[in-house]
Amino acid sequence: MTDFNLYDETNAPEAARPVLATAKSAFGFVPNLLGTLSESPAAAEAYLTLAGIVDKTSLSPAERQIVLLTVSYENTCHYCMAAHSTLAGGAGVDAATLNALRTGTPLPDARQNALARFTRTLVRERGYANDADIKAFLDAGFTKANIFDVITATALKTISNYANHIAETPVDDAFKAQTWAKPAAA
């Protein structure tokens, strides 16, 4: 295994320090994901910038977490599943929905389930959704703009999921209560 550095705002490459300072201000600590990504200041900045853009989409905070958790589940990202499982409650995701997202089972709410199903299709089919997939998503009350919002959020999680796979990013203490491993049957 290749070892990767885990930087903070004091020892990161100079160009990454403002990104880590921003993260520390927002979270109260530097998440290990950003500490790892800071090996490439551009990657750390891209992730933080795209995260801000995802927050501006027309998806609600709970819907954003559903997309982020669905992508992370599909990509088997232990770090992002723990982190977003922790953040989901504050975004309005109820316990039954969170459990379904963590186990890869249908969500209890039909509209939210349509969102997770569409996201899962995009990940599994590498962005190819057929007309029936798109129609089901739109029929659930989502918009054409939401299709691109889901794609944007998927891009964000692809960056972090892949980085965490490569670096084997350790889960932060703040997220350890939600430590996750993909269920064996999934």
* Mean predicted lDDT score pLDDT of the chain: 96
Q: What is the pLDDT of residues 95-125, one digit of tens each?
A: 999 999 999 999 999 999 999 999 999 999 9
- Interval 163-169 mean pLDDT: 97
CB atoms within 10 A of CB 110: 11
In the predicted model, is pLDDT for residue 140 greater than 90? yes
For 131-154, what is the mean pLDDT?
Answer: 98
Mean pLDDT, residues 32-48: 97
144-167 helix and 78-88 helix, angle to the nearest 10 degrees: 130
Cβ–Cβ under 8 Å, residues 154 and 160: no
Average pLDDT over residues 21-38: 95
Q: Is a pLDDT exceeding 80 seen at residue 149?
A: yes
Alpha-carbon distance 36 to 168, whole Å?
9
- 33: closest CA among 78, 73, 97, 88? 78
For residue 77, the model assigns a pLDDT of 97
**Residue 128: what pLDDT?**
96
Secondary structure of the chain in the HEC alphabet? CCCCCCCCCCCCCHHHHHHHHHHHHHHCCCCHHHHHHCCCHHHHHHHHHHHHHHHCCCCCHHHHHHHHHHHHHHCCCHHHHHHHHHHHHHHCCCHHHHHHHHHCCCCCCHHHHHHHHHHHHHHHCCCCCCHHHHHHHHHCCCCHHHHHHHHHHHHHHHHHHHHHHHHCCCCCHHHHHHCCCCCCCC
> Which sequence spans correspond to the domains of the chain?
8-56, 59-178
pTM: 0.95
Is the pLDDT at 185 greater than 70? The verdict is no
Query: What is the model's pLDDT at position 42?
Result: 97
Q: Residue 158: pLDDT above 80?
A: yes
Q: Which two tokens stand for residue 176?
A: 């350890």
Q: Which pLDDT value is given to residue 1?
A: 72
Q: What is the pLDDT of residues 75-88, one digit of tens each?
A: 999 999 999 999 99
pLDDT at residue 182, as a whole number: 85
Multiple choice CATH, 8-56, 3.30.390, 1.20.5, 3.10.50, 1.10.10 = 1.20.5
CATH code 1.20.1290.10 for 59-178: yes
